[in-house]
Amino acid sequence: MAWQQPMDGSHASGSKVAAADGPGTQRTQYPYVTGTSVIALKYKDGVIMACDTGASYGSTLRYKSVERIKAVGKHSLIGASGEFSDFQEILRYLDELTLSDHMWDDGNSLGPKEVHSYLTRVMYNRRNKFDPLWNSLVLGGVKKGPKGEEKYLGMVNMIGTHFEENHIATGFGNHLAIPILRAEWCEDMTFEEAVKLVEKCLLVLLYRDRSSINKFQIAKITTEGATIYPPYSLKTHWGFAAFENPSKGAVGSW
């Protein structure tokens, strides 16, 4: 262990691939085990985040009990879609970051804005080295700021694009959930209203996204801290007339 190397948590330069890359080496990665969409929105008391608990291995729905939303420090929640192993690595970086922050013990703690900023830097720098962390991360939290308790919700993706919004969806959620959120989100929803809206989006994703499973987790973050609820299922309805005799009007070759 070199004496001079500062072992601080912000040293997340990530990839240990040698700088001297020969002509035959590849840097682009493929995601192997991936999580699908994450949905999040701000509500009255804080931020609510939800996703399913599945991780696919290509087209196989391989892992069915995966927690893709985690608490970060005292003030934030992080949710990820994309390569699950990269998410685990990001969690490790965040763990180092929050630990060294915690050990200062000076009354300050990292809020969601700071964590979002840190993640943006990490993701962007990795993409510049052609070695991205193949994730879309959703960062939500509540922290006391100059204007009182400030809610924060933002997103970073694998190429380093980052923004802050009132409602976020990643993956397929971008196409299926965002239109619903844009139409029905309003300022200061109660927790129950927020859950209803989120469940509406999750249901649409369940029907239409082939890599989602019927097992969801909702998490919320408020001034009291983070709560990640146990997984549950949504009721689906398949009793449509068109499903009754599916091959009725089919034209077959034999």
Partner 1 sequence: MVLSIRSRARFYLPPYCVPALIFFPKTHSISRNKPKPPAPHCHAAGDAAATVLGPPVSEKYLYKQLKDGRVFQVEYAGKAVDNSGTVVGIKCKDGIVLGVEKLVTSKMILKGSNRRVHSVHRNTGLAVAGLAADGRQIVARAKSEAANYEKVYGEPMPVKELADRVASYVHLCTLYWWLRPFGCGVILGGYDRDGPQLYMIEPSGLSYKYFGAALGKGRQAAKTEIEKLKLSELTCREGIVEVAKIIYGVHDEAKDKAFELELSWVCDESNRQHEKVPDDLVEQAKAAAQAALEEMDAD
- Residue 103 as a binder of partner 1 (CB under 8 A): the answer is yes
Q: Which is nearer to partner 1, 105 or 244 (CB)?
A: 105
Q: Is 1 in the site for partner 1 (CB under 8 A)?
A: yes
CA dihedral sign of residues 236, 188, 74, 121: positive
DSSP element (H, E) containing 105: none
Q: How far apart are CA 183 and CA 198, in angstroms?
A: 13
Candidate ranges 4-12, 83-91, 126-134, 159-167; the one touching partner 1 (CB under 8 A) = 4-12
Q: How far is the CB of 103 from partner 1 (least distance, A)?
A: 4
- With respect to partner 1, which residue has the nearer C-beta, 118 or 152? 118
Radius of gyration of the chain (CA): 20
Closest CB to partner 1 among residues 98, 136? 98
Given candidates 44, 58, 88, 99, which one binds partner 1 under the rule CB under 8 A?
99
At 35 the three-state DSSP class reads strand
In the complex with partner 1, which residue's Cβ is closer, 105 or 192?
Answer: 105
Tokens of 229: 């609820």
Q: Binding partner 1 by CB under 8 A: which of 18, 105, 148, 239?
A: 105
Contact region for partner 1 (CB under 8 A) — 26-34, 91-99, 142-150, 231-239? 91-99
| Residue nearer to partner 1 on the CB measure, 96 or 184 | 96
Site for partner 1 contains 102 (CB under 8 A): yes
Q: Identity (one letter) of the amino acid at 153?
A: L
DSSP string of 32-93, one letter each residue:
-EEE--EEEEE-SSSEEEEEES-EEETTEEEES----EEEETTTEEEEEEEEHHHHHHHHHH
Provide the token pair at 230: 């146990």
Residues 195-234 that bind partner 1 (CB under 8 A): none
Q: Are 132 and 83 in contact (CB under 8 A)?
A: no
Give the three-class secondary structure for 85: helix
**Cα dihedral sign for 134, 221, 179, 173?**
positive
223 is catalytic: no
- Which one of the spans 2-10, 19-27, 177-185, 246-254 is the region binding partner 1 (CB under 8 A)? 2-10
- Residues identified as active-site: 28
List residues near partner 1 by CB under 8 A. Answer: 1-4, 6-7, 9, 92, 96, 99-100, 102-103, 105
